[in-house]
Amino acid sequence: MKRGSREAQIAARLAKSYPDAHCSLDFKNAYELLVATVLSAQCTDERVNQVTPALFKLCPTPGALAALSQDELERLIRSTGFYRNKAKSLLGASRMIVEEFGGEVPRKMAALLRLPGVARKTANVVLGNAYGTSEGFVVDTHVRRLAARLGLTRESDPERIERDLMQVFPQREWTALGHRLIHHGRAVCGARKPLCGSCLLSDCCPKTGI
């Protein structure tokens, strides 16, 4: 299968198989998604979704979160792991949002990347899912693994993987395709035991059976 047509087949088959794939973090607005995404580092989305309702009830805005002490926030998010660093990042980000962005989560990549604890993955999640704009491609552990197995990249650095994916898929597909790759990684193409025999991409994949 020729390069180009192969990528188109990958995108089309994933779209057919996972038409409703979406962000698995619970959120109502960009602020909640930003916080949830920071908390999701080295933690399951399920755990984050258990923690955030109480957090957002107490802190419904960046200003309310910024008013917490480090200790108070650590207690609220402790079960998500790495809670000290996460609390420090969230306090710094919320204060910057209040002081420099009028209490609204920025809508541009460059501005988001200025926030403490926010790298391209988090920024892409917020832009694509809260604001409906795609400036990049979310590269998490699942996307990183599938991109390599499917021969979409030879890179190991997330930002270089992102650039490769952005070159072979249309911008309009970046957000949705990211979700579909993540869903496929969880359901079929696992890290330890990929289910190649039942994979809808087996004839597109150079790693089938390996």
Catalytic residues: 121, 140
Angle of helix 83-100 relative to helix 30-39, nearest 10 degrees? 160
In the block, tokens 């933690």 appear at 43
Query: Cβ distance 106 to 112 under 8 Å?
Result: yes
User: Using the 8-state DSSP alphabet, how is residue 80 labeled?
Assistant: G
Q: How far apart are CA 53 and CA 15, in angstroms?
A: 31
Sorted by sequence, the CB contacts under 8 Å of residue 115 that are 6+ apart come out as 34, 92, 93, 96, 97, 106
34-72: b or e for each residue (b if 16 or more CB lie within 10 Å)?
bbbbbbbbebebeebbebbeebbeebebbeebbebeeee
Q: How far apart are CA 63 and CA 165, in angstroms?
A: 36
